[in-house]
Each structure stands twice: as structure tokens, then as C-alpha cells.
């Protein structure tokens, strides 16, 4: 075997999915007119709004823990020496024109960004849209999800109030727990023992430059792959009429709106609806009140510390892992903090990333699948969702204990049992309900070779499809706009 054979195989794998040698015109690419497919656009527009509002906030934020005398509008801090970062956030919130509105929009855009991305990934998972040839974009999406959470975490520290600094301090302890390189991570990312004078500047640099650049790069890769590949499509309910009828089961054709002007107009509507939603949330719902918590005080700890909902499941792992899970392996100490804070979340992300290679398909698949017809895949998805939900509830154990009138120590065994039992039970119940223990229904799908236009609908023609006279032009007689990756011969 030649040394170059693995490279050739890697290139063939990528070429089969991205059509590296094909030329394409993007303006006529077909986008199926399905509302749930727009969740990715919502995430994209939220990121754009995050960048724009972040630029505004960056003009007034001071990434420093040096003490300054506060002379702003909050009476209780008048004349006091406050950390400069904390004082600048007070200034943004109460003194800068539109500062409170922009800060709230930034906050809610971050939440909607993660929420829309999560819903988008759930739609892709349950409909099987991650299957061949779309595994690369699933990997990119998983990376985006992880980076968005890291972006939120680095933003926690910036106000340097009592709540934020306590939460970031927990992360510092988890970072130190990494075997062999924990101290190095602590010095590199946190600037030494937290809170350090270097922590806020470094988190600020990560939050406003490094992570946004990485996210923007991943979004760009995601979009390039999306444009190079043909879009997935829901199973058609009937044949689609036009100059030529497209059979409902013909997976060589994608029926959808052309990128321009139809899809562009839809995207504009989605953008303004996203902007309107964030404006309403910012106008009526308050965000983290740093004036109430006060500046960082190493001598005290807030009564209740909880991260945002999208980080709650990781916090739940940290709370549920018992201390006896610390152990030594080949002379290297592995602490329970590392297991709960990094190892378990890392395994979750690893399982998500590898899923398309577990549910692997040799042939390209065009149509999305009905989750009801995919018992074991849907059961795994339901088990995963309930696993994260139970872990998130564990992160709120103090509130749960207060509601039940007991202690967190008393409910911890119940939560550990639920973390194991509920996902397994819900998965088995889903599998049985969908007939998994009988004859498993077959999901839809096949190779996708061509995208065509229909009526006011655009499409793409595959460069490797043999011409038989029926697919030489779109169903409405207009010319096909762009070539799709060569899949038929792979």
C-alpha cells in the first residue's frame, strides 16, 4: 500500500460530499420551503446581532480590576472604590444612552443563539439529516455548539461582580483539575490564581476576539459546505407538477426556492423577526443585575450560584460526581472535579460528534426521515435529551431541595439514580412505542444527484448524472443553476 493511499481516500471522501472539482452557481441553489429549516438562519442572525451589540459594549467596557472611584448614577456606590470592569458595566447599564437596551439585547441574543442552534441540531438529528454526505457539517455544528458555550462562560467574568467571579472561580478549579496540564491552563487562560489582575483582560480577549473569530470561521465553513451540497428535503406528499412532473419518490431532484431572490427575501424576513424578538425581550425582560450582587468580594459567596440554562447540565455533572471517584492512574491523579467538570461533558460532545459514524450510510441520502420510522435512532435521541434534562435539574439541586423541604445531600442519590435510569427508561419506552421490538420500519432516503427548479422554484443539476433527456433542464424549463457534488459514482 502506498503512503499516499490514506490521503487519496480522504480526498475521495471529501470530494464525494463537497464536489471539490465541480463548478457551481450559488444564486440558483434550491432551498426547500420548510419553516423548521430556518432555525439555522435564526442562529446566524443572532450571532450577527451579538457581534454588533458586542462592538457597542466594547466601546465603554474597561477590562481591568484596578480600583477607581465611582461617580455614576447608582447612589449606593457613589464615591466608593470599585473594580474598573464593574464600574464600567454600571456605567453602560445606567448612564450610557441605550446602554441598558444594548446590553439586554446582547444577553438575549446569546440565549437565542444557543437555543436556535440546539433546536436546529435536534431537527437534524431526529430527521436523519446528518447522514451521508452531510457528516462534515454535523461535525462543524458540534464545534459551533461547544464554542458558543465557551463564549458564554468567558462573558461571565467580565462584569467582575460577586456572582460572576464566583462562577468563574468554579471554572478555575475545574481547569486546575486537568491531569498534567492543569496548572499550565490556569496560568495561560486565567493568568494565575483566580481572581488575578490578568484574568479579566485575558477573558476579554478570548470573548471579543478569539472565540468570535473561531465561531465566524466555523459558520463560514458550515455555509460553504451547505452551498456545495444539495439541501435535504422532506418526503414529498405527492408528485410535483411543472413543465415536467417530478415524481414524489424521485430523490434525484430537490424542489425548493432559489437562493436569489426568493430565499433571500425569506431570510430578510427571518432577520427582522429575529431582531424584533430580541428587541421585545430586551425591552421587557431584565438581565443579570450586577448592582444587586455588588463587586467581587473574595471573603463572601452568594447564597445561590447557577449558570445559564445551556450550561446547567455541565454544572449538574459537577455536583453529582461523588468525591470517591477521584483516583490515581499510572501515577497521575484524576479528581472528581475533572470527571464531572470536563470528562463527562467531553464524552457527551464526543458522542454527539461521532453519531453520524454510528448511524452510518454508505449511499448518499436525500430525503429527511420520519422519526417515527427510525425507532432506535429516535430512542437514542430521546434518551440523550432526557439525560441532559436530568443533569440540568441536578444543577438546580438547591432549588429542588428547597421545594421538597429537604437537603441537597438527601436528594443527591435520587438524582444520580434518575441520571442513569430516566434516560434508559425513556429510550426503551420510545423504542417500544415505535415498534422497535417488532419489525423496524425503514426510513426514507436514497442518493441525491440533482436539484431542479419547479414553477418559481430553483434547483441544482449534478455534473455526473447521465443525461436521458428528462433531467437536462429544470421541471419548469429554466436552466439548472449549479452543479451538486458528484455522488452517484462514489
Per-residue pLDDT of the chain (490 residues), as tens digits, is: 565 666 657 756 666 666 655 555 566 677 777 788 899 999 999 999 999 999 999 999 999 999 999 998 999 999 999 999 999 999 999 999 999 999 999 999 999 999 999 999 999 999 999 998 899 999 999 999 999 999 999 998 899 998 888 888 889 999 999 999 999 999 999 988 887 889 999 999 999 999 999 999 999 999 889 888 777 887 777 667 666 677 766 666 777 777 778 888 999 999 999 999 999 999 999 988 888 888 988 777 777 778 899 999 999 999 999 888 888 888 888 999 999 999 999 999 999 999 999 999 888 888 889 999 999 999 999 999 999 999 999 999 999 999 999 999 999 999 999 999 999 999 999 999 999 887 544 444 443 334 444 434 444 443 333 334 434 444 343 333 344 333 333 3
Q: What's the burial of 213, exposed, middle or buried (CB within 10 Å: 0-12/13-18/19+)?
A: exposed
* CB-CB contact of 308 with 152 (8 Å): yes
SS3 402: helix
Element (H, E) at 169: helix 162-176
- What's the Cα-to-Cα distance from 442 to each of 123, 129, 424, 456, rounded to whole Å? 19, 15, 23, 33
Short-list 368, 471, 363, CA closest to 16 = 363
Specify if 51 maps to a domain: yes
- What's the Cα-to-Cα distance from 325 to each of 303, 328, 336, 337, rounded to whole Å? 27, 10, 5, 9
Report DSSP state, residue 35: G
Cβ neighbour number for residue 354 with a 10 Å cutoff: 13
Specify if 417 maps to a domain: no
Short-list 50, 19, 26, 30, CA closest to 117 = 50
Q: Write down the pLDDT at residue 235.
A: 76
Specify if 406 maps to a domain: no
SS3 390: helix
Asked if the bond preceding 195 is cis, omega within 30° of 0, the reply is yes
- Whole-angstrom Cα Rg for the chain: 26
- What's the Cα-to-Cα distance from 412 to each of 314, 383, 403, 428, rounded to whole Å? 16, 21, 14, 24
Short-list 322, 323, 319, CA closest to 307 = 319
Q: Write down the pLDDT at residue 5.
A: 66
Short-list 410, 489, 400, CA closest to 449 = 489
Q: Write down the pLDDT at residue 23.
A: 52
Per the structure, the complete domain to which residue 88 belongs is given by 24-369+444-484
Give the separation between CA 273 and CA 276, rounded to whole angstroms: 5
- Grid coordinates 463548478 are at which residue? 23
The CATH number assigned to the domain holding 117 equals: 1.20.810.10
- Contact partners, residue 6, CB within 8 Å, separation at least 6: none
Q: Write down the pLDDT at residue 321.
A: 93
Calculate the dihedral angle through the C-alpha atoms of 426, 431, 437, 439, rounding to the nearest 10 degrees.
170
Specify if 264 maps to a domain: yes
Specify if 59 maps to a domain: yes
Specify if 108 maps to a domain: yes
Specify if 162 maps to a domain: yes
pTM of the predicted protein model: 0.83
Element (H, E) at 277: helix 264-284
Cβ neighbour number for residue 88 with a 10 Å cutoff: 23
Please state the domain count of the chain. 1
Give the separation between CA 256 and CA 475, rounded to whole angstroms: 12
Specify if 392 maps to a domain: no
Q: Write down the pLDDT at residue 366.
A: 83
Amino acid at each position: 500500500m502506498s503512503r499516499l493511499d490514506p490521503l487519496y481516500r480522504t480526498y475521495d471522501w471529501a470530494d464525494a460530499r463537497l464536489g471539490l472539482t465541480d463548478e457551481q452557481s450559488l444564486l440558483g441553489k434550491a432551498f426547500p420551503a420548510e419553516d423548521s429549516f430556518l432555525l439555522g438562519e435564526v442562529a446566524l442572525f443572532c450571532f450577527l446581532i451579538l457581534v454588533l451589540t458586542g462592538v457597542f459594549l466594547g466601546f465603554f467596557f474597561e477590562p481591568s480590576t484596578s480600583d477607581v472611584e465611582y461617580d455614576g448614577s447608582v447612589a449606593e456606590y457613589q464615591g466608593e472604590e470599585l473594580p474598573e470592569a464593574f464600574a464600567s458595566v454600571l456605567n453602560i447599564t445606567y448612564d450610557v444612552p441605550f446602554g441598558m437596551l444594548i446590553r439586554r439585547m446582547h444577553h438575549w441574543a446569546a440565549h437565542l443563539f444557543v437555543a436556535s442552534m440546539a433546536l436546529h441540531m435536534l431537527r437534524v438529528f431526529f430527521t436523519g439529516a446528518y447522514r451521508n454526505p452531510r457528516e462534515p457539517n454535523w461535525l462543524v455544528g458540534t464545534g459551533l455548539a461547544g464554542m458558543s458555550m465557551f463564549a458564554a462562560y468567558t462573558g461571565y467574568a467580565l462584569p467582575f461582580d460577586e456572582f460572576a467571579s464566583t462562577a468563574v472561580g468554579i471554572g478555575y478549579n475545574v481547569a486546575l483539575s486537568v491531569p498534567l496540564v492543569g496548572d499550565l491552563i490556569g496560568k495561560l487562560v486565567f493568568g494565575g490564581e483566580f481572581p488575578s489582575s490578568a484574568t479579566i483582560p485575558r477573558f476579554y480577549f478570548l470573548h471579543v476576539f478569539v472565540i468570535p473569530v473561531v465561531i465566524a470561521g466555523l459558520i463560514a465553513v458550515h455555509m460553504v459546505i451547505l452551498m456545495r451540497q444539495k439541501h435535504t428535503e422532506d418526503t414529498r406528499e405527492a408528485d410535483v407538477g411543472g413543465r415536467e412532473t417530478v415524481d414524489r419518490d424521485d430523490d434525484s431532484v430537490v424542489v425548493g426556492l432559489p437562493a436569489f431572490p426568493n430565499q433571500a427575501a425569506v431570510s430578510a424576513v427571518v432577520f427582522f423577526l429575529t431582531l424584533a424578538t430580541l428587541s421585545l425581550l430586551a425591552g421587557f425582560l431584565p438581565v443579570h443585575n450586577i448592582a444587586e450582587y455588588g463587586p467581587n468580594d473574595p471573603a463572601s459567596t452568594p447564597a445561590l450560584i447557577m449558570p445559564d440554562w445551556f450550561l446547567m447540565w455541565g454544572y449538574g455533572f459537577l455536583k453529582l460526581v461523588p468525591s470517591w471517584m477521584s483516583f490515581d492512574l499510572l501515577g497521575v491523579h484524576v479528581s472528581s472535579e475533572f470527571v464531572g467538570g470536563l470528562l463527562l461533558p467531553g464524552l457527551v460532545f464526543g458522542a454527539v460528534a461521532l453519531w453520524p459514524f454510528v448511524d452510518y450510510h454508505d449511499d448518499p441520502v436525500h430525503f429527511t426521515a420520519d422519526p417515527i420510522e427510525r425507532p432506535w435512532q429516535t430512542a437514542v435521541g430521546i434518551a440523550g435529551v432526557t439525560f441532559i434534562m436530568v443533569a440540568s435539574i441536578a444543577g438546580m439541586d438547591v432549588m429542588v431541595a428547597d421545594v421538597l423541604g429537604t437537603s441537597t445531600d438527601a436528594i443527591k442519590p435520587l438524582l444520580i439514580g434518575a441520571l442513569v435510569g430516566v434516560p434508559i427508561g425513556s429510550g426503551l419506552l420510545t423504542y417500544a412505542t415505535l415498534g422497535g421490538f417488532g419489525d423496524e420500519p425503514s426510513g426514507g432516503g436514497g442518493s441525491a444527484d440533482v436539484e431542479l427548479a419547479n414553477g418559481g422554484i430553483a434547483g441544482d443539476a449534478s455534473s455526473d448524472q447521465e443525461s436521458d433527456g428528462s433531467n437536462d433542464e429544470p421541471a419548469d424549463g429554466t436552466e439548472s443553476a449549479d452543479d451538486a457534488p458528484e455522488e452517484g459514482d462514489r
